Structure 1
Amino acid sequence: MEIINFLIAFAVAFLVVSKILPRLYGVRKGEEIPPANKEIEEAKNKGDFFMIYFSTPSCGACKRMEPTINKLKKRYKVVKVDASKEKDVAKAYRVLGVPMLVLVKGDKVASSFMGIKSEKEILNKISSL
């Protein structure tokens, strides 16, 4: 009987983690980007490809990601959002951790990343869009 209870608990936990949790984290591909700050709205209204980079000043991973973001800014429009100051924007994009990068094409989410990513990883994703 104990093994059955364990298996039921495991199955429920698996469902929660695999089905429900991903829906809570970040905006999803194909989802229309939510209204946000002025800079995001301006970039969205142009209808071009752009990126939204969420970070905080106290985030060590964000500091390591900064040189990559600065390189990307030379080629693409990147809107930086301080998630500690613009909490309403971070909440609208369901940012649960930083750094987070959202790739936007037109007014739709094309992809999103959380954590440190190399310039090559990001460029590969951009080229596949």
Structure 2
Amino acid sequence: MNFLMVAAVAVGGFIALLFAFQLFMVFKMRRKEGKPAPSLDGKPGKLIEKGNRAVFYFYSPSCGACKAMTPVFRKMARTKKNVFPVDISTDMATARKFGVMATPTVIVVNNKTIEKVLIGPQPQATLQSLA
């Protein structure tokens, strides 16, 4: 009986720790809103430098929540020139510049400033309204 109570408290503490870590990540990423966007190379960098709107979708092929969002963003990237899917398994440098700590993460840049940060799965209507 005593062992079960200790195990239950340990599991509960672990779950609370995971929840607190997730809240910390969300809080830290949200603090980036209103801050200057990092300088990037290529087409995304040129859009940002001109002060145009750019939408970055950070994902990982092994991320379960990303599997529903990735096709939506790939389709958006084909039709809109300001949408950039970023696979963090192949482009960790861009993720580091933005300070991405979890996937999926969507970052909207406008007027050289990080306008919005969305962490976790988002409804398709929300995603389509960003670009």
- Identify the TM-score tier after normalising by the shorter chain: 0.5 to 0.7
- What is the 5 A alignment of 1:49-64? 49-64=53-68
Q: Which runs of 5+ in 2 are unaligned?
A: 1-19
**Aligned twin of 2:29:** 25
Cα distance change on mapping 1:75 and 1:85 into 2, 3 Å: closer
CA contact (8 A) 1:39 1:79 kept: no
TM-score, normalised relative to structure 2: 0.67
- What is the 5 A alignment of 1:58-77? 58-73=62-77, 74-75=79-80, 77=82
Percentage identity across aligned positions? 23
Aligned residues: 108
TM-score, normalised relative to structure 1: 0.68
Q: Which runs of 5+ in 1 are unaligned?
A: 1-16
Cα distance change on mapping 1:76 and 1:112 into 2, 3 Å: farther
CA contact (8 A) 1:50 1:78 kept: yes
**Aligned twin of 1:110:** 115
CA contact (8 A) 1:102 1:111 kept: yes
Q: Does 1:35 align with 2:39?
A: yes
Q: Provide the C-alpha distance between the structure 2 equivalents of 1:120 and 1:51, rounded to a whole number of angstroms.
A: 15
Moved more, 100-109 or 42-51: 42-51
User: After the TM superposition, which segments of 4 or more aligned residues of structure 1 sit over 4 Å from their partners?
Assistant: none
